């Protein structure tokens, strides 16, 4: 992580109807703003939310965005029929922050359309409200944000749903480019095939790489010759699980955790936190790990991988595409044409990965350390950190 300082704010909320706990952690404010999604999962804790808020601060600093880091978390099962009500009451209680300082978005268990629905009901229009209301013309900024999020992309999805996975794919393509691997010779294994893993799989397949294994909560699907990614994605349900009854017979069904040990050049953990631990890091057969999930690798496991010559491109670089893109959209640096957004993210992600792997290859410096140093250097160039006063940010 870029820093281990105490967060600025930790809030705990108790739902008066269900007794559910919800948390907001604001790690840093920049120009009075912090950004970070809201997740919902049974068992979510304040320390998890605190780690994620710190990670968001690292992401915004690494990508030099004019905003601090925050995160919301609700300890509730998103599949419970009462989930929408819990989310609405949480957002209502957090309203002073959401109105003025905290820009939130989708995260685990909370899709973007759901959180936008809640914001609309609360009269806050859209989950980027705190930033939109500061712009010179809020109506125009809202239209630009909505047009960007809802821009159609190949595969029948929307730009806002695939941009994070596109960024992960660009991190993988950046590795291949830096190390001189041809796309068609490069193999990838992905744990998780939801928003992030599914998006990454789509764009890696499109780039000509061979996605040989994907795992969902039900198990690992493996085909050494390469999976038909678009066909598999079609078989997913709303929770990112593949309908096994329609999977072709030549695809091997392995246990869920088998994905970790698949012989592939690149391993992308894109599901759960702490997926790679000291217990299973020895199984990792890939040459590099690209963290799509937050905190996918424990520090001990990362050190063990490094000792075996396997670098880890950290979450706050590899999965920062969606967060960075949201701010480029808010600031009017990209619009509704997906080609502009893809170009910007491709360029920035590949350049960062080349820098991190260059330091790793030449000096043996772990990518996380190089990225953390970049974040600190970017932040120290900004003057208004930790201020709740508005201006400094100009949104056209
Ligand atoms: N969605 C985003 O915009 C975004 C952005 C940055 C980081 N992330 C992080 O990426 C990770 C995944 O988020 P998402 O939005 O893609 O989630 P998602 O709910 O859309 O998909 C999760 C996928 O992981 C699978 N899965 C769950 N448990 C598993 C297990 N034990 N083994 C194998 N597969 C398992 C599910 O079946 C599903 O395919 C999370 O850590 C999240 O915080 C998400």
Nearest alpha carbon, ligand 1 atom 42: 293
| Beta bridge pairs of residue 40 | 74
Buried b (16+ CB within 10 A) or exposed e, 159-178: bbbbbbbbbbbbbbbbbbbb
User: Is residue 385's pLDDT more than 80?
Assistant: no
307: exposed, middle or buried (Cβ count in 10 Å: 0-12, 13-18, 19+) = exposed
Half-sphere exposure of 392 toward its Cβ, with a 13 Å CA cutoff?
17
CB 328 within 8 A of CB 341: yes
Fold of the 157-365 domain: Rossmann fold (3.40.50)
Helix (H, G, I), strand (E, B) or coil at 72: strand
Indicate if 71 belongs to the active site: yes
> For atom 26 of ligand 1, which residue has the closest CA?
217
Quick one: tokens of 77?
């099962």
As a whole number of angstroms, the distance between CA 75 and CA 43 comes to 5
Residue 331 has pLDDT above 60, yes or no: yes
In terms of Cα–Cα distance, which of 99, 102, 93, 134 is closest to 30? 102
**Phi and psi dihedrals of 25, rounded to 5?**
-120, 125
Is pLDDT at 396 greater than 90 in this prediction? Answer: no
Q: Which two tokens stand for residue 333?
A: 């640096």
Residues 66, 317: Cα–Cα separation, whole Å? 16
Instruction: For residue 383, name the pLDDT band (cuts at 50, 70, 90).
Output: low
- The residue whose CA has the least distance to atom 6 of ligand 1 is 319
* Beta-strand runs (E) in the chain: 9-14, 21-26, 34-35, 38-40, 68-74, 102-103, 152-153, 157-158, 187-191, 210-216, 219-222, 252-254, 266-269, 288-290, 312-313
**Best residue for ligand 1 mutational test, from 52, 163, 171, 271 (most atoms within 8 Å of Cβ):** 271
> What's the CA-to-centroid distance between 139 and ligand 1, angstroms?
33
Question: Domain coordinates of the chain in residue numbers?
Answer: 9-133, 157-365
pLDDT in tens, 84-99: 999 999 999 999 999 9
pLDDT of residue 239: 84
Among candidates 212, 272, 270, 217, which has minimal Cα distance to 241?
Answer: 217
In the 8-state DSSP scheme, what is residue 183? G
pLDDT given at position 4: 61
**Predicted model pTM:** 0.93
d(CA 189, ligand 1 centre) in Å:
15
pLDDT tens-digit series, residues 347-368 = 999 999 999 999 999 999 999 9
- Cβ neighbours, 10 Å, residue 121: 12
Token digits for 172? Answer: 């993988």
Position 338 pLDDT exceeds 80:
yes
| CA distances (Å), origin 269, targets 245, 296, 334 | 25, 6, 29
Q: Does 390 have pLDDT greater than 50? A: no
Distance 119 CA to ligand 1 centre (A): 23
Please, what CATH class does the domain formed by 9-133 belong to?
alpha beta
What is the Å distance from ligand 1's center to 195 Cα?
7
> Alpha-carbon distance 182 to 233, whole Å?
25
Question: For 198-240, what is each residue's pLDDT tens digit?
Answer: 999 999 999 999 999 999 999 999 999 999 999 999 999 988 9
* CA–CA separation, 329 and 324 (whole Å): 9
Q: What is the mean pLDDT of residues 42-51?
A: 95
Whether 386 has a pLDDT exceeding 50, the answer reads no
Ligand 1 pocket mutation, candidates 194, 203, 253, 277, criterion most atoms within 8 A of CB:
194
- 252-279 residue pLDDT tens: 999 999 999 999 999 999 998 899 999 9
Find where tokens 């959209």 sit. Answer: 329
Residue length of the chain: 396
pLDDT of 177 reads 97
pLDDT in tens, 149-203: 999 998 889 999 999 999 999 999 999 999 999 999 999 999 999 999 999 999 9
**Residue 48 and residue 118 in contact, taking contact as beta carbons nearer than 8 Å:** no
Ligand 1 neighbours (beta carbon < 6 A): 106-108, 164, 191-197, 215-217, 240-241, 256, 270-273, 292-294, 319, 322
**Given this model, what pLDDT does residue 34 score?**
97
Task: For 308, list phi and psi in degrees, rounded to 5.
Answer: -90, 10
CA 293 / ligand 1 centre spacing (Å): 6
- Of the residues 71, 79, 287, 352, only one is catalytic, namely 71
Decide if pLDDT at 391 tops 60: no
Q: What is the pLDDT of residue 344?
A: 98
Quickly list DSSP for 244-309.
GGGS-TTSEEE-GGGGGG---SEEEE-S-TT-B-TTTGGG---SEEE--STT-B-HHHHHHHHHTT
User: Measured from the CA of 220, which atom of ligand 1 is nearest?
Assistant: 33
Which of 14-28, 69-83, 101-115, 273-287 has the lowest average pLDDT? 101-115
Measure 40 CA to ligand 1 centroid, in angstroms.
Answer: 12
Query: Across all residues in the chain, what is the average pLDDT?
Result: 94
- Say how many C-beta atoms besides its own lie within 10 A of residue 152's C-beta: 11
Q: How far is CA 231 from CA 83, 96, 182, 236, in A?
A: 31, 44, 24, 10
- Give the number of the atom of ligand 1 that is nearest the alpha carbon of residue 193: 39
pLDDT at 3: 58
pLDDT band at residue 2 using 50, 70 and 90 as cut-offs: very low
Question: Average pLDDT of 274-295?
Answer: 96
List, in order, residues 6 or more apart from 317 with CB less than 8 Å away: 59, 62, 171, 349, 352, 353, 356, 367, 371
């Amino acid at each position: 992580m870029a820093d281990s300082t105490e967060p600025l704010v930790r809030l705990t909320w108790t739902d008066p109807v269900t007794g559910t706990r919800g948390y907001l952690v604001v790690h840093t404010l920049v120009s009075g703003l912090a950004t970070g999604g809201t997740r919902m999962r049974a068992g979510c804790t304040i320390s998890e939310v605190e780690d994620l808020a710190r990670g968001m601060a690292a992401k915004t600093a690494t990508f030099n965005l004019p905003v601090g880091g925050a995160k919301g978390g609700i300890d509730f099962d998103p599949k419970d029929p009462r989930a929408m009500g819990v989310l609405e009451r949480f957002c209502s209680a957090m309203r002073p922050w959401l109105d003025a300082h905290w820009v939130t978005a989708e995260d685990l268990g909370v899709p973007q359309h759901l959180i936008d629905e809640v914001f609309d009901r609360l009269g806050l229009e859209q989950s980027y409200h705190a930033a939109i209301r500061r712009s010179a013309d809020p109506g125009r900024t809202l239209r630009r944000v909505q047009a960007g999020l809802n821009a159609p992309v190949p595969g029948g999805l929307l730009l806002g749903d695939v941009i994070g996975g596109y960024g992960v794919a660009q991190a993988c393509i950046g590795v291949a480019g830096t190390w001189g691997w041809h796309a068609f010779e490069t193999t990838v294994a992905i744990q998780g095939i939801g928003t992030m893993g599914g998006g990454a799989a789509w764009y890696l397949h499109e780039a000509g790489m061979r996605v040989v294994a994907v795992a969902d909560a039900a198990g690992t699907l493996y085909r050494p010759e390469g999976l038909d990614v678009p066909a598999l994605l079609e078989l997913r349900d709303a929770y990112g699980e593949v309908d096994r009854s329609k999977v072709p017979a030549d695809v091997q069904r392995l246990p869920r955790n088998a994905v970790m040990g698949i012989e592939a050049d690149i391993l992308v953990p894109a599901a759960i936190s702490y997926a790679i631990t000291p217990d299973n890091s020895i199984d990792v057969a890939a040459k590099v790990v690209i963290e799509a999930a937050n905190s996918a690798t424990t520090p001990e496991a990362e050190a063990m991988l490094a000792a075996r010559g396997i670098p880890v491109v950290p979450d706050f670089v590899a999965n920062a595409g969606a967060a960075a893109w949201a701010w480029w959209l808010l600031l009017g640096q990209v619009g509704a044409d997906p080609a502009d957004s893809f170009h910007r993210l491709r360029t920035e992600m590949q350049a960062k990965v080349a820098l991190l792997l260059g330091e790793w290859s030449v000096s043996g410096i772990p990518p996380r350390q190089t990225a953390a140093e970049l974040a600190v250097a970017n932040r120290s160039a900004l003057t208004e950190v930790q201020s709740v006063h508005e201006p400094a940010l100009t949104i056209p």
